[in-house]
A and B are shown apart, each in its own frame.
Chain A
Amino acid sequence: MKFKIKYKLSFSDADRLIEKYYEGLTTVEEERKLREFLSQSNLPEHYKPEQAIFGYFDHKKQKAPIRFLPIIRWSGAAAVILFTVFSINRYVNENQTNYAFIDGKKITNVQEIKSRALASLSDISSKNSEVEDGLKNMNNKELIEEQLDIFSGL
């Protein structure tokens, strides 16, 4: 079975374009067609010089270099923004840790906040003697021994 190789340009057209190329008369489109033609494999030997000109033998095709500068810029911008946000957040939090809410309304007057804090502490250490008595009794060894003595008689 014979395979017919179909080239993108006929050899006569290619030769004509090559001649025109050397004379500097080719258009961009013609150069593109010529480049396409010369990038094919299995071309006759006499096209090798033109293939070299158009970079066909350049096996190590140079990839477009990765531009690091935009990546660095974007990373830097992201880092600065994040740092700024964290700093502001921290600063705001640190400066708003003395506050009170009374019926849903925020108070920032330190004296008033302190008086409310003291009021809540006095609720805990209330005049209700049950609390104090209860705590005293918890530490009262004698009371415990007294209560245990009830059972020793059984």
Chain B
Amino acid sequence: MRSIKKYLILTLLVGFAFIPTLKAQNDLQISKVFDQYGEKKGVVMVELTDEMLDGYDFSLFKSITIQNNPSAADFIRKCLAKDEIGAKKVKQVVANGIPTSIYLQLARKGQLYRLILFNETFKPEPKITLIYIESKNDSEDVLKLILKKK
């Protein structure tokens, strides 16, 4: 009887321990970027779910903007290099041998299209922008729409 109680209590404790990991898991390497840099100074991180955003229809929008952090840019590129594997389409703009813009159209997650956008600018000051989008609309159309709007 005592051992049954002990096992039940143990089960409860294990259940509590696993709660944090029960959130939807992001299978991408870029999730590390949001985790590591998201709440730091000089960083703006945004997450929106199922919100209409100026005509865009995103199921999930997650972005991070980092200023004056070259090591973050290198880290993001390494993450993107891994996430690129298995991507449906990859587009890059390279300046002086370094990709300054990367667009990845990833394999679909269920009914949702997934897109990763990365951009690095140096003027007026170094700034990195990383965006992850999930949408019911085709990634190509989403990308065109984003680039069309200025």
Contacts and interface: CB of A to CB of B under 8 A. Distances in A.
Contacts, number: 119
A70 to B, nearest CB: 7
Interface bin, chain A: 35 or more
Nearest to B144: A135
B82 to A, nearest CB: 21
Nearest to B34: A101
A101 B44 contact: yes
B4 A130 contact: no
Contact of B48 (A85, A114, A123, A126): A114
A135 B147 contact: yes
Given A85-B19, A124-B129, A114 B51 contact: yes
Interface of B: 1, 4-5, 8, 11-12, 15-16, 19, 22-23, 38-49, 51, 53-54, 56, 61, 63-65, 91, 93, 95, 100-101, 117, 119, 121, 127, 129, 131, 146-150
Given A98-B49, A128-B121, 15 more contacts: A75-B8, A101-B45, A103-B41, A103-B42, A113-B48, A116-B46, A117-B61, A120-B46, A120-B129, A123-B121, A124-B101, A124-B119, A124-B147, A125-B150, A131-B101
